[in-house]
Every structure is written in C-alpha cells, then in structure tokens.
Amino acid sequence: MNAVVNLVNGPVRSVVEERALRPPVIGHIRPGIKVLTSKARGNARAVELYENMVSAGESFDAIAMALESKCNLKNALAPKNTPYFTCRRSDFTNPDVADEILKLYGEDRGEGLKLYRFPVLFAFNDWMQNLPNQMTVYGSNGRKFWSQYERDGIRYCMTYAKVARDQRAQRAVRHFGGRTVIRRQDEAIADGICDPEQCPQYQARQCNLSASFIFAVPDIKGLGLIELPTNSIYVLQKAYSAMQTVQLARGKLTGTRFWITKREFDITRINEQGEAVRTPQMLTVLDADIDIGALLDAAEDAAPALDAANQAVALIEASGNVVPIGNVDRAITTLTPMTEVAGAGGASSPVVALTEPASSSVPATGNPTDAQPVPGPLLQHVLAGQYPGGAEAPESLSCKRDRMSDLLQRLGLSADDRKQAFRIYAHTTFGRGWAERATDVDRMNERLAKALTDPAGLDREIDAATQPTLLD
C-alpha cells in the first residue's frame, strides 16, 4: 500500500488530512434573484407568501419549499438576472456578515441598499482554486454526474459507484472515507468521456456549467471564504483572462485587490431553430484597480542597460586596454580620466584604462588573437561602486540599476526563462515598487554580488519565492 502524502503538511497524521484540502465557506453571495413564475403569480396566496419571505430575508430555497408545502406549487421560482448581487442574511453562517458587507460596500441607486460592486482578495495563486468549475448534473439527492480532467488531459464524466451489499449482513457495505468515484460507463456514455454533443443529459439541458468564485472580502471577519456561483462560460472566460493578466504582471494572484461588478454585454446564443441571435445580458465581471506598468520590475527596465553594457564590453575587447569615456556605460562616465591620448586629427580625448594589457592573458597556444583582456584595477573599482582609493562613488539610481543589470547578466538571470522567477523573488523580498527605491536596489546589488560566489544559494531563494502558497 502506497503511503499517503498531504501536499501541505507532508505525511498524513490523521484521517482528516487524507481528504483533499477544501477552503471553508462561511456564506454565499448570489448573482441574481428568483421570482415567481407566471403560473405562480396567478395564486394570490403564493404572491403574499413570496413577498413576506423575501422581506424577511429568507433564502430562495426556503421560499421554494414553503410554496410547495403550503401552496402545492412545484418549481414556482425562476431565476432572474439583476444589475446587483444578492447578499442575504440566510446565506451566511453568521447572518450579521451579510449586513456588514452591505453596510461597507452597498449602494442605494433608487431601489434600496444593494450590492453593485465590491472588492475581493483571492487566497490561492492557482486560478482553478479561486474559480473551480465543471460540467454537472444534479439529481434529487445531489450531484449525479460531473466532469473531471485526468492526467491524460481528457475530460471524463464521473459518477459515484453503486454501493455493494454485504451478503452476510444483508445491508449496504459501509465505506470509509466517502463514496467511491468512478468513470461513468453506461449505454449513453460507454467510454466515460465527457462529450456534451453526445450526452443525453446535456442535450436535455440537465447538464450545465457549474462554477464559483471563492474569495475573501476585505474588512469582513470570519474564519472562511465567501462563494459566488455562476453558470456562464462568458463569465468564466473573462475572469480567467483577468487573472492571467495579473499573474503575468505580478507573478501571483494573492495580495491583489480585485473588484467584482456587473456589466451588460451582447451575448450570442443559438435558439431552438438553430439560428444565432444576440441578446443583452448582465454578466459578472472581474476587474482590478492596478497599474500594470507599475508592476513591471527592474528586470524589464534593465534591458536597455544590458545592451549598453554589451556594447561597452565589445569596445573593450576590440581596443585592448583603453576605451573612450563617451562610449562606456553610464555607470563609469563620472570617473576622472586617468590619461589622455591623441584622437583623430591630433585632438586629445580623455580615456580610461579598463583592462590590463592583452599580452598578460595570451593563452599557451601563443596565438595573440585568442587573448582576452582581464579586468584592470579601475574596472574592478567601478563594478564595486568605488573610486580608486576606496572612496564611495556618487552613484545615481540609474547607475545602481546599470550595475545590477551587469550582475543579472553575469548570474544568468537576464535570460527570458529566468526573468519571471527573478521578478517574483524581487517583489516577494523587497515589495512592490522596489526598483524605484535606491536603498532596495543597493540591497539587491549586495545580494547579487554575494551570489557570484554562491549562485546555488540564490537559486534556492528564488525557487522558494516562486512556490505556490495557500495564503500570503
């Protein structure tokens, strides 16, 4: 028997830890409301009961049960989309939470206090954990069929295995750890693959997309998250696009304040005659009040400086031991010229000795064309941020960045496949906007310089920073 390992705590220590980690949910915010059907509106008692229960803040499930038991009306409620979200006391384990959300973020636009727009914080860096979704068929006893992707990348239709009977005890076999889940295999779905076009439940409109936003609301207390359901593929696509944009810019989703609101779109659907028609519909939209440009770190800003550094290196290698100051990277233009040589037309131009004579590095083959210049004393001081003699160089922020660019290149962190990891590490270590703060750039330069002698240590720090977390 294989050992069970919990991804958060390592080897399991309890039967509770064997189960998949699920965030606790303390309440639900609904995307709309439910109203009486045309048939139910003809029943005066049903209308009165509906209005009284809505005013009392009862859930629509409770209203539907009351209409069925007291008015003998089944399926008396139909969903209706609204410009606002429904935040009812009956949908929360602590009803006061609903009142607090409306108090903080509700607006009165002529219909009383309603929830039109509110901020959310996601608890996971994996978008699927923040917005779980699947195709689902519900029966009278709960979930009957649902879709699930497996390691082969194929979407399968899953169901619960039929409970076996204990022949000796003449009763159902007790299962430990929940019911057994298997691939669906019957006359309709023989291979177990979820194919909506071949699925009788989907064609009968019994199978639909089931998805939920799972989030925390700022300034709302409670040991758990809040859920907002949706069954719109358009909402799912737009939310996925918004999350991916933020993740590419910041490297993570946690720590960003998103906003959930509603906006009207023209949606194309296929009617019963197979014709495409466009209808307006209010959709849940995910947005974020962030400046994408401000999220870009110094790794991107350093690209021009890296090009300038490469040009300087090329000039050094081409000319041997001297380079005109005007062609050197900005980090060394503030240095006092050591000597002057005659330039074109007999004019003098200042130069700086950056390397030792190339003859000192001629290889054993004796081929002078293979000689590589080695850093001279002045260049070593420049890379260390000092004048000759140990005095501190009056570096500007741009010069500090240029020196960091050189270190990034020497450590291989300027490569495309390493930039994103370095971006996450830098933001995690020094915070947002660190590249604009000279002190943080200095600290980063110190860390990168130390990594020249221990690159593995820096790699471990970067790997640790890029690991997904539950909550930041």
Average pLDDT over residues 208-218: 94
Q: What is the pLDDT of residue 245?
A: 85
Residue 270 has pLDDT above 50, yes or no: yes
Same-domain pairing of 318 and 348 = yes
Q: What is the mean pLDDT of residues 273-294?
A: 81
Choosing from 295, 326, 341, the residue where a domain stops is: 295
For the ranges 136-145, 233-242, 266-275, the lowest mean pLDDT is seen at 266-275
169 falls in which pLDDT band (50, 70, 90)? low
State the chain's maximal CA–CA distance in angstroms: 111
The answer to whether residue 15 sits within a structural domain is no
State pTM to two decimals: 0.59
Percent of the chain at pLDDT > 90 equals: 30
Among residues 81, 116, 151, the one where a domain terminates is 116
pLDDT bin (cut points 50, 70, 90) of residue 322 is very low
At residue 390 the predicted structure's pLDDT band, cuts being 50, 70 and 90, is very low
- Same-domain status, 428 and 328: yes
| pLDDT, position 1 | 43
Pairs from 378-383 (Cβ < 8 Å, separation ≥ 24): 378/335, 378/338, 378/352, 378/353, 378/354, 379/354, 379/355, 382/331, 382/332, 382/335, 382/354
- 343 and 451 in a common domain: yes
109 and 200 part of one domain: no
Residue 8 lies in a domain: no
How much is the average pLDDT of 318-331? 39
Read off the pLDDT of each residue in 323-344 and give the average, rounded to a whole number. Answer: 37
The pairs formed by 15-18 with CB atoms below 8 angstroms and a separation of 24 or more are 15/177, 18/177
The pLDDT of residue 415:
72
**Could you report the per-residue pLDDT of 138-164, keeping only the tens digit for each?**
987 889 999 999 888 899 999 998 887
Q: Which of 33-37, 128-132, 269-273 has the lowest mean pLDDT?
A: 269-273
Mean per-residue pLDDT, 274-278:
84
Are 366 and 257 in the same domain?
Answer: no
User: Does one domain contain both 218 and 320?
Assistant: no
More confident residue, 250 or 205: 205
Domain termination site, one of 50, 83, 116: 116
* pLDDT (0 to 100) of residue 416: 67
Domain that holds residue 61: 27-116
Give the pLDDT mean for 171-195.
85
pLDDT value at residue 407: 84
Q: Say whether both 308 and 189 belong to one domain.
A: no
Determine the pLDDT at residue 155.
94
Answer yes or no: are the C-beta atoms of 71 and 43 closer than 8 Å.
yes
How many Cα neighbours within 13 Å face the side chain of 276? 3
Asked if residues 118 and 285 have their Cβ atoms less than 8 Å apart, the reply is no
Beta strands at 118-121 and 133-139: parallel, antiparallel or unpaired? unpaired
Share above pLDDT 70 across residues of the chain, in percent, rounded to a whole number:
74
CA gyration radius for the chain? 33
Mean pLDDT of 405-419: 78
pLDDT in tens, 21-44: 778 899 999 998 999 998 888 889
55-107 residue pLDDT tens = 888 888 889 999 989 988 888 899 888 999 999 998 999 999 999 999 999 99
**242 and 158 within one domain:** yes
Mean pLDDT of the chain: 76
